[in-house]
Amino acid sequence: MSKATETATAQETALQSQADNAYIRSLGMGAIDNMDASMIKMPRYKLVQNTSKKGTPGKWISNIDNDEVDSIAGAVLAISQSRVMFGEVGKGDKPLCKSNDGIRKSSADGIGDSYCAKCRYAQWGKGQGGASIKPACSQGYSLLIAQPDAEMENWGPAIVTIKGSAMRPAKAFFTAMKARNLPSFAYLTTLGSKAEVTEKGRFFQTVFSMSEDLLPIEIIKKIAETSSQYKDFVGSDLAADVDSEVDDHGSGQGFYTPPEGDLPF
């Protein structure tokens, strides 16, 4: 069989597979039609710090069996911002107030004001000598990514939590993404970590990078086709992260806050 014939056969097979998949989906999704976000266990990764209750500092830990990895690679599908405020360390992990969109508080029970931008707990203050005092309410991001297997054939959804010292490099990376002016799922984004030492101590900073090469067009199409399905299933998983283990509570008692957290962004 000639090379041209092999190529033509492969293309016909791919087209037939696409047609078959389209027909199968037109029949309905069976049990999937009745699923909602509460029935899905979405992998969520966080960077482990020295203050974390579990995990190896510098590693990314998953809520699925506490699996640890050195870095996370995937195609970014969506970014959600949030805010959350905890009470004093050691007096319960339930947040005093939270916002799932970073715009307004999510529950009338929250002690904060209605809108985050004007909330008294979200404002920067001034201390002795003009030093900036960070807000009691901390900002964070959740990244929804399509994560590939080793062969980059199968892609599954996952969420990455960004907060604390990672906010400044995150915003710089988002700026670079915007400047690239391409769909965020057209290339791989990798999140790693590096140790940094200051006079306050040692902590791990998030390191962002993006691949120069674009993903193969077939993979980009596949990710684009399934991205809306991923977003439908994540639901509240993209909301505010209310796990107080990994980062500080805002009060800073017993938790190390890196210098980036002491400056306005």
pLDDT of the residue at 13: 67
Phi and psi angles of residue 117, each rounded to the nearest 5 degrees, phi first = -60, -30
Q: Please count the helices (runs of H) and the strands (runs of E) in the chain.
A: 3, 11
What pLDDT does 222 receive?
Answer: 87
The per-residue pLDDT for range 174-210, each reduced to its tens digit, is: 999 999 999 999 999 999 999 998 887 889 999 999 9
What whole-number distance in Å separates Cα of residue 114 and Cα of residue 110?
9
Question: What pTM did the predictor assign?
Answer: 0.74
Give the whole-angstrom CA distance, residue 214 versus residue 28: 33
pLDDT above 50 for 256: no
Alpha-carbon distance of 67 to 55, in angstroms, equals 9
Q: Residue 98's closest CA among 89, 88, 86?
A: 86
Which bin fits 92, alpha (ψ -120 to 50), beta or left (φ > 0)? left
Give the residue with greater pLDDT, 21 vs 77. 77
What average pLDDT does range 34-41 have in this prediction? 69
Residue 35 has pLDDT above 60, yes or no: yes
102 or 18: which leads in pLDDT: 102
What is the predicted pLDDT for the residue at 10?
64
56-108 per-position pLDDT tens digit: 999 999 998 889 999 999 999 999 888 888 876 544 567 888 888 888 888 88
The pLDDT of residue 244 is 55
Question: What's the rounded Cα separation, in Å, for the pair 106 and 97?
Answer: 8
Q: What is the pLDDT of residue 190?
A: 98
Task: Evaluate whether 97 touches 135 at the Cβ level (below 8 Å).
Answer: no
Q: What are the residues whose beta carbons fall under 8 Å from the beta carbon of 260, sequence distance 6 or more?
A: 164, 165, 167, 168, 205
- What's the pLDDT band for 136 if we cut at 50, 70, 90? confident
| Domain chopping of the chain, boundaries | 1-27, 35-82+139-262
Q: Rounded mean pLDDT of the chain? A: 80
